[in-house]
Structure 1
């Protein structure tokens, strides 16, 4: 029994949460106002029905009273003509109408009381409905303003669902941009330090490029040797002549090699 009660409590809490989320205060207020107007209409119809019944009783009472007056005149005329029996009969009928008029009069007084009560209730309900309508519109305006203010606040803070998605997309774009910038900077540093050069990951260099680099390196070597010869005691003429002779001897050998 405790399990079923707990399950019922859980389902009730879930349903209450769903209903609370789905409930729109503006719609609820409008619906309540509609129901109050319907109740006011019913009360007004009740007043009209009671007033109609009261009026009908008044007409019946007036007819009976008119009939009594007629019987009274007939009795008087019969007595003048010496027809006492007819006069007695007319007065008897007139007396029978007294009880009917009395009963209708009691009902009339009761209906008058009911009509007054319903009229007073209708007036009070009308005032209540008017007050509720004013309060309803005020609450709706405040709710709409609060809702708009909340949405604006959530938009500025980025916690709303729509702006949250936009903020996440922007954040992802910024993260990717920073990652690419960091990678580009790292590659530039590696190239500048010589760890990476143009041949890394590219096509192999051709023979012409290799020969040009070799000539540049040989030129640097010759320049350095010349500077060193000049720094030797007695100049560098003897040494230069010796190097020239050696170069002359190497020339045919290079020609033969070709």
Structure 2
């Protein structure tokens, strides 16, 4: 009835290593073990309830048989007082039969009471063990989750710090520098082009003013 508790103790005792070696999920496995333990406890609770009911029934029958023994003894005395030996004998014969039944039922009740006590003790033991396993399960699950998180972080950090990642960053840095250089060169060329255009524009404007001045002097006879 308690075979599974031994299995749970073995698994939890070995903690995470055995489950990880079998590629089992410790969190899910520990939850399953706890559920199985709960089912075992329910089984024992049901057995205890039946045993206690049986014990009470035997106790009631034993008390009833003893009550009949006592009753027949009183009746036998009454028959003797009435000088009816025949009736007294019949009462004593029936008393003897009930005495046998009472003794047998008393023995059965004592055995049932002993079994009930043992089952109750075992149930209490199972519940204590269950509470201990439940606390350990919570601890192991927290450690398992922590280990998973650390492993994931370590893998991520390892990837970030790898030579391949560094080379990738260096290539991207070179590209950015190249883009910046190209942008600066493009701006310089654009600036040079604008300066040249402005010089020619000034030259054109200057030429127009000179022509207009000559024309005005001609009209005024100032040539």
| TM-score (normalised: structure 2) | 0.61
Alpha carbons 2:58, 2:109 under 8 Å: kept: yes
**1:21-170 correspondence runs (5 A):** 21=23, 23-158=24-159
Aligned CA RMSD, in angstroms, stands at 3.2
| SS of equivalent to 1:82 | coil
In 2, the alpha carbon distance for the partners of 1:93 and 1:135 equals 62
Once the two structures are superposed, residues 206-229 of structure 1 have per-residue CA deviations (whole angstroms, 9 ceiling, x without a partner) of xxxxxxxxxxxxxxxxxxxxxxxx
Secondary structure at the aligned position of 2:83 is classed as: coil
Deviation string 1:34-87 (CA, Å, 9 cap, x unpaired) is 111111221222222211111111100111111122212222222222221111
Give aligned pairs, total: 159
**Max Rg structure:** 1
Shift of 1:158: 2.1
In 2, Cα distance between the equivalents of 1:106 and 1:66? 16
1:196-207 map, 5 Å: none
Equivalent runs, 1:198-237 vs 2, <5 Å: none
Indicate conservation of the 8 Å contact 2:45/2:123, yes or no: yes
What is the TM-score when the length of structure 1 is the normalising length?
A: 0.53
Cα distance in 2 for partners of 1:113, 1:81 equals 45
C-alpha contact 2:62 2:109 (8 A) present in aligned 1: no
- Partners in 1 of 2:139 and 2:78 — Cα distance? 75
Secondary structure, aligned partner of 2:66: helix
Does 1 or 2 have the higher relative contact order (CA < 8 Å, sep 6+)?
2
**In 1: Cα distance, 2:157 partner to 2:138 partner:** 28
